[in-house]
Structure 1
Amino acid sequence: MTSYNPKEWFSFIFQVSKADTIRKLFPMMIFIGIYSGAIGYLEIVYWDLPKDSYVKNISVMHSMLGFVISLLLAYRTNTAYDRWWEGRRLWGGLVNSSRNLAIKLSVILKDESDRTYFRKIIPGYASILQKHLTDSDTAKQLFDDVDLEIDHHKHRPNQVAKMLFHKVNDLYVSKKITGDQLIIINAELQSFTDICGACERIKNTPIPYSYSAFIKKFIFIYVLTLPFAYVFILGYFVIPVVVFIFYVLASLELIAEEIEDPFGTDDNDLPTKKIAENIKKHIEELI
């Protein structure tokens, strides 16, 4: 995730970052510019259409559809941001659950070996979940002194959650914790799996294909018809104008595409790896 100061206006205006959509859209912008120039040449020079040509009235269609496309893009962007923000809330919940579990265990447990185990395994769940959501390979040994024999063909976060609960149950059987204490820490243990399931729901349920495909086609056709009408008003200045309109509309769709899956490695995705590292740091301070 890109860190920035929202008050630095000039850096936003003049700096082109890796997350800037102009990098991805530049080839298409070149094509739109050439296409607009070709339409302008045909209408002004080759066909020599008069100023009162009916082709000029195509702008009426743009006025009517401009409101529709703005509603579609606003809904598309808001929906994508809601998914991004929900993902951030879920990982914030994982931070809180990890801290609460560590605080309770730090008071309950007296055996140093048990404290050491949870000092490693609690942040291990966050690390496994981060790698699970980004589809990256998970090492069998995440931390020193804790070997996690993970079956890569099975659900990895569930395996770590099972190890957590298995350890807690062993503590109960060996009389190191009471039944009431088991109930107290059960809420945090259960929340780990709940958070994992909610993150998987976001990741595995993209925006419906038909909706996303329709917006892309709508933007493309809308932009391709712009030069026909506005060349009578703007002349060859229609080239930069149409290119800029395409850049704005297509950028909104690209931004929505990027943030609707907040658990990837794009510049605007959530810093899940950093959050997992912070969880490890806080747990080591608490236990």
Structure 2
Amino acid sequence: METVESLGKVLKTLMPELTLVSEIGRRQCEGCGNEVVVYEAPILGGPDKGKMVQYTRGIPLPDNKIGQGCICWENEQAREAKRDMQERRIKRIVDRYSTVNPDLEAASFESFETSSPILQESLKLARSYVDGFQLTAPMNLLFAGLYGLGKSHLTYSICKALRVKGFTAVFMSVPKLLTIIKSTYNKDSDFTEAELLDVLSKVDLLALDDIGAEKARREEQGETWATEKLFEIIDGRSGRSTVYTTNLRADELATKVGQRNFSRMMMNTKPFRFEGEDYRIKNKRF
């Protein structure tokens, strides 16, 4: 209280024209319980010269309204700065660790080949998924089927479409992702494993491509390192949307990734099986 009153006296001494500086009210902040002193002073120059504005602790209040001049305001600024820092960190890691093959870069819904009713249905499902995507109503997809049927194409198209809508969507090949995690163990790595997994847990959509294709060494304890890492990633996605692709059938996938991972993957997940010919080698003769 003394600080605000002293500030007013100093301002009046240094700038006599501020004769209208005055305290106009006090209140208790509902957030932190601190007393907030509000005072009023005129703008000294510019197009708004003479216009009266209100301040708390020397902080101008927007739209001439009494606002926070206490620790709550400071905490909110800190939270905004933290959110901004997290968003920049996510972008740096995503850009650095992008695992999209060059042949997928141009993938889109428009370029997806629908040579059969099944593939037509898969495209319809993917478009519907994007149209209905909501952070407050997470939903997962599992695309299964043999190689070359367009699972990765369609999944990456989902990611691209969601980015256009302003969401953060990351496409990661599971075998490459596990290699990237191992690379963070190097002391010269720019990011730690914890930072990478934290980013993957927070993006709006994570696409885990080719799950079950990773090579894993059986450990003495009965679990593989890859299985444990997959569980950390999948478990960390709880409450957020994830799209999986696999070349395995349900029983094969459960055996490959472990029953615990498979059970977690299937929570709130719509499975769709692709069938047809490998369109990457269709009509190619040699």
TM-score bracket, normalised by the shorter chain, equals: under 0.3
Structure whose residues are more often helix by fraction:
1
Query: Normalized against structure 2, the TM-score is what?
Result: 0.23
**Structure with bigger RCO (C-alpha 8 Å, 6+ apart):** 1
Q: TM-score if structure 1 supplies the norm length?
A: 0.23
> Greater strand share, 1 or 2?
2
